[in-house]
Structure 1
Amino acid sequence: MSVESFDPAQQTVKVSSAAIQHFRRQLEHDGAAKAVRLSVKESGCTGFMYVVDLVQEAQNDDLHYQLDGNLEFLVAKDSLSIVSGTEIDYVKEGVNRQLKFLNPNAKDHCGCGESFNVN
């Protein structure tokens, strides 16, 4: 798996080429969105969930990165400490395709896989 990385203030998130291609297809399908934005929110029985949005513009504190030439990837600054070190991949499992987040900060996951905690 090849990955694109960025390193703001010694923080790193990696995005696989399969995930980059998935994001490109989503942006093309949407038509209005210009970038992909990663954040986390409190949710579920375990604590947090990943939020990947297609957006027209960044929020004020978002960190901006160009992946694979022209794909704008944003990370919510307030989520950076939670997603630091995460590898994002797009995988096919049986008939399903989904984004996978391999986060070294995640200490526990809920049974359904929708939420995680970092304590």
Structure 2
Amino acid sequence: MPCFCLRHDVDALLWQPHSSPRDDMWEHIATFNALGYVQASKRDKKFFACSPNYSYAALCECLRRVFIYRQPTPMSTVLYNRKEGRQVGQVAKQQVASLETNEPILGFQATNERLFVLTTKNLFLIKVNTEN
């Protein structure tokens, strides 16, 4: 069953409706930290999607650009916040992909490893999560 995402303060909360009648119709299944704040600043956004395993979320503009926001992951090395002088345990990464086209984006789909972006003449594939 499809999920939907709502902004709550600065975060984006992902909700799953239940198919059977229950007292709680919706279940909170994921949070994308600060993504509510980020998506509010994107004036040209057209699509929003997240991977089925919730490892990343992506926003797509009407033309060219796709913004990829990854969930925080533990650091493999020691990293310090210089302003506060404290050790950072997790880092969330973001990326921007620019498509080599000026055609409008007509469709957008996320899988665990890839993003598919459809234009009038092309289907672009963006590798997002790879083990190698």
Same fold (TM over 0.5): no
Which of the pair has the greater relative contact order for Cα pairs under 8 Å at 6+ separation? 1
Tell me which protein shows more strand as a share of its residues. 2
Higher helix share: 1
